[in-house]
């Protein structure tokens, strides 16, 4: 049984901790200061309340889950006795390298160091490490306690034992780990997500349809199928001859843009950054934000319940 420590208690850090505690693991989570820990504690309580409201757990289970999570500011205390460490700090490579160098003074060489990075390769993360063979990426998706996928990515020097331990640990957390045979920028999930986002931007920039209708084209069609059939299985079901023929004429007309689209670039330059600024492609206020986030969370819980039913 691995002993888990998580470094970073932000959006992903405390959500991963919740996922681990939900499956019975005791977990230590490290934050920068008491304010950092208080935000994490509030986030945990809010998420557990939603889980209770949606009957994923009852109140006593929620209390037991929360009791398994210990929030600390001392890095030494966080990693003491750890056998598996997940790093979930900001996406700044130099910051991660500094942390790893500190860690290597506190832990044994057999402790796995896994990064939740969504972009950096494990080879680049481990380039200054004393023991690069124990570095790996375990990329959770937000929210980490509700989305099953974890992308497990090996570096050039990652050894087989580290891979096997990471895959086994993710499964014990009731996750759906997928293993990448080679490290590529963006891994798999983000490459697929941003391919769709690029085409959506191109359609908007060309004035083909409104933002609402472009979004609706996904949420009311392929978005309904994707929870059951991914793009390759969908093509099998539709007929590979059909999908090949459409690919042959449509690919030539799809966006091949190398940078953000015109509308997106303009919004960013004007400080319109979406939910966090109150304006992006859409207008956001506190009520709108709460409503959409609640709807998304409820839908994710629905699919999580379906997953559990299929696996029983």
pTM: 0.93
In angstroms, what CA-CA distances link 208 with 152, 204, 212, 270? 38, 6, 12, 24
The confidence band for 309, taking pLDDT boundaries of 50, 70 and 90, is confident
Classify 139 as helix, strand or coil.
strand
> What is the spatial distance between Cα 261 and Cα 200, in angstroms, rounded to a whole number?
9
pLDDT tier at 80 (50, 70, 90 boundaries)? very high
| 89 CB-side CA count, 13 A | 19
Provide the pLDDT confidence category of residue 308 given band limits of 50, 70 and 90. confident
Non-local CB neighbours of 111 within 8 Å, separated by 6+ positions:
79, 82, 83, 84, 85, 134
pLDDT given for residue 307 in this prediction:
85
State the DSSP code for 69. E
What is the token pair recorded at 220? 């009311």
* High-pLDDT (> 70) share of the chain, %: 100
- Residue 312 scores a pLDDT above 80: no
**pLDDT for 210:** 98
Strand pairing of 135-140 and 149-154? antiparallel
Strand order in the sheet with 176-180: 69-72, 27-30, 4-7, 84-87, 112-115, 135-140, 149-154, 176-180
Does residue 228 carry a pLDDT above 80?
Answer: yes
For residues 301-312, give the mean pLDDT: 85
Q: How far apart are CA 312 and CA 198, in angstroms?
A: 38
pLDDT, position 1: 85
pLDDT at 142 over 80: yes
Query: Quick one: average pLDDT of 52-57?
Result: 94
């Amino acid at each position: 049984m691995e002993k888990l420590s998580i470094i970073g208690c932000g959006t992903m850090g405390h959500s991963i901790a919740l996922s681990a505690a939900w499956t019975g693991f005791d977990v230590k989570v490290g934050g920068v200061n008491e304010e950092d820990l208080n935000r994490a504690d509030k986030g945990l309580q809010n998420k557990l309340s939603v889980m209770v409201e949606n009957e994923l757990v009852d109140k006593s289970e929620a209390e037991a889950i929360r009791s398994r999570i210990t929030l600390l500011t001392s890095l030494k205390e966080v990693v003491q006795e750890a056998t598996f460490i997940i790093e979930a700090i900001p996406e700044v490579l130099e910051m991660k390298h500094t942390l790893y160098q500190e860690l290597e003074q506190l832990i044994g060489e057999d402790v796995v160091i896994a990064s939740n990075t969504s972009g950096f390769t494990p080879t680049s993360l481990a380039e200054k490490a004393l023991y690069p063979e124990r570095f790996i990426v375990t990329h959770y998706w937000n929210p980490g306690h509700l989305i099953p996928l974890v992308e497990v990515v090996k570096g050039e020097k990652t050894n087989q034992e580290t891979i096997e331990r990471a895959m086994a640990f993710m499964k014990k957390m009731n996750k759906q780990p997928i293993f990448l045979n080679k490290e590529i920028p963006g891994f798999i999930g983000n490459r697929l997500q941003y391919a769709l986002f690029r085409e959506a931007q191109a359609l908007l920039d060309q004035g083909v349809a409104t933002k609402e209708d472009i979004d609706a084209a996904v949420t009311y069609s392929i978005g309904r199928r994707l929870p059951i059939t991914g793009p390759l299985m969908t093509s099998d079901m539709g007929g590979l001859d059909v999908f090949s023929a459409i690919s042959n004429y449509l690919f030539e007309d799809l966006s091949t843009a190398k940078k953000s689209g015109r509308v997106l670039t303009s919004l960013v330059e004007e400080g319109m950054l979406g939910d966090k600024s109150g304006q992006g492609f859409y207008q956001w206020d506190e009520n709108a934000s709460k409503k959409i986030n609640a709807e998304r969370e409820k839908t994710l819980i629905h699919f999580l319940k379906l997953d559990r039913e299929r696996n029983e």
